[in-house]
Amino acid sequence: MKRVLIIVAASLSVAACATPTVYAPSTGAPASVGFTDYRIETGRYRVSYTGGGGAPMSQVADYALLRAAEVALRDGYDWFRVVDRQDRTIGAGAGGRPRMSVGVGSGGGWGRRSGVSVGVGTSFDLSGGPAYSHTLEVMAGKGAVPKDRDVYDARDIVRVIGRGEGR
């Protein structure tokens, strides 16, 4: 019983190490959590946000929109239009389902002894689930916000998503 408690405690410790989802710049390492952006040309940008394992896709998409709004405002624009969206799943793994395996083996020796063994193993995905990445290509503009689909007021996005009102 003591062994089981130690194993459970160790498993929970590992689970606590799962990558949290925070709104911050990416470190640039593969699959690191955070945002990246770059200017394609004047008024046109590619913005990405990668969430930690288990972060909901809606939160990842909101953070990509938030970064697009911040970039637009930083460069003197009032609004932006999303011209392309791409979603990517990173490390889907077992999907959080436990797995179990059974193995049977036998062996004979040089002498009169032989043996049979049975082993049972289990594994659990403690990562919290797959991570998602959401990439937007946006074109920014100045002046009145067009009343078109996929056009966002940059100040409204920062006000709503930046304060957590949209989640």
Helices (H) and strands (E) in the chain, counts: 3, 7
Task: List the structure tokens of 63.
Answer: 């953070």
Q: What is the spatial distance between Cα 50 and Cα 125, in angstroms, rounded to a whole number?
A: 20
Which one has a higher pLDDT value, 145 or 164? 145
130: helix, strand or coil: coil
Q: Is the dihedral of CA 130, 131, 137, 138 positive or negative?
A: positive
Q: For the residues 12-35, what does the mean pLDDT come to?
A: 72
Task: Identify the pLDDT of residue 60.
Answer: 95
Residue range 92-132, pLDDT digits in tens = 654 555 666 666 666 665 666 666 666 666 665 555 678 89
Confidence of residue 30 (pLDDT cuts 50, 70, 90): confident
Residue range 45-74, pLDDT digits in tens = 999 999 988 889 999 999 999 999 999 999
Which one has a higher pLDDT value, 157 or 28? 157
Q: What is the spatial distance between Cα 88 and Cα 76, in angstroms, rounded to a whole number?
A: 30
Confidence of residue 22 (pLDDT cuts 50, 70, 90): confident
Task: Identify the pLDDT of residue 111.
Answer: 63
Task: Identify the pLDDT of residue 56.
Answer: 92
